[in-house]
Amino acid sequence: MPVHRITCSVLPARRPIVALLAVAFAASPTAALSNATSPATLALDHACYDQTTSAQRTPVVITGSGFASGESVGVRAGGIALGTANADQNGSFMVTATVPTLSTASSPIPLVRHFTLQALDETTGTTIPIAPARLTVATLALSVLPPRASPSQLVTFRATGLISATGTVGTLFAHYLFHGHLIRTVSLGTLGRCGNITVDRPLLPTRARRGAWRIQFDQSHAYSPHTTPRISDTLTIS
Check: CB of residue 215 under 8 Å from CB of residue 142.
Answer: no
Whole-structure pTM value: 0.76
Q: What is the CATH number for 226? A: 2.60.40.1930
Residue 32 covered by a domain = no
* pLDDT tens-digit profile, the chain (238 residues): 444 444 433 344 433 333 332 323 233 333 333 334 689 999 999 999 988 755 556 789 999 999 999 999 999 999 999 999 999 999 999 999 988 888 777 778 999 999 999 999 999 999 999 999 999 999 999 999 998 999 999 999 999 999 887 777 889 999 999 999 999 999 999 999 999 999 999 999 999 999 999 999 999 999 999 998 999 999 999 8
Residue 18 covered by a domain = no
Check: CB of residue 166 under 8 Å from CB of residue 187.
Answer: no
Q: What is the dihedral of CA 42, 43, 47, 48, to 10 degrees?
A: -50
Residue 227 covered by a domain = yes
Residue 69 covered by a domain = yes
Whether residue 128 is found in the same domain as residue 147: no
Whether residue 146 is found in the same domain as residue 99: no
Whether residue 157 is found in the same domain as residue 231: yes
- Kindly report, residue by residue over 128-137, the tens digit of the pLDDT: 999 999 999 9
Q: Which of 139, 162, 180 is the last residue of a domain?
A: 139
Helix (H, G, I), strand (E, B) or coil at 70: coil
C-alpha span between 129 and 208 (Å, rounded): 59
Total domains present in the chain: 2
Residue 10 covered by a domain = no
Cβ partners under 8 Å of residue 77, min gap 6: 100, 115, 116, 117, 118, 134, 135
Q: Which of 139, 159, 177 is the last residue of a domain?
A: 139
Pairing of strands 49-51, 133-139: parallel
Domain range for 203: 141-237
Residue 26 covered by a domain = no
Residue 161 covered by a domain = yes
- Kindly report, residue by residue over 101-155, the tens digit of the pLDDT: 887 777 789 999 999 999 999 999 999 999 999 999 999 999 999 989 999 999 9
Whether residue 134 is found in the same domain as residue 145: no
Q: Which of 116, 139, 162 is the last residue of a domain?
A: 139
Helix (H, G, I), strand (E, B) or coil at 35: helix
Whether residue 122 is found in the same domain as residue 46: yes
C-alpha span between 173 and 220 (Å, rounded): 7
Residue 11 covered by a domain = no
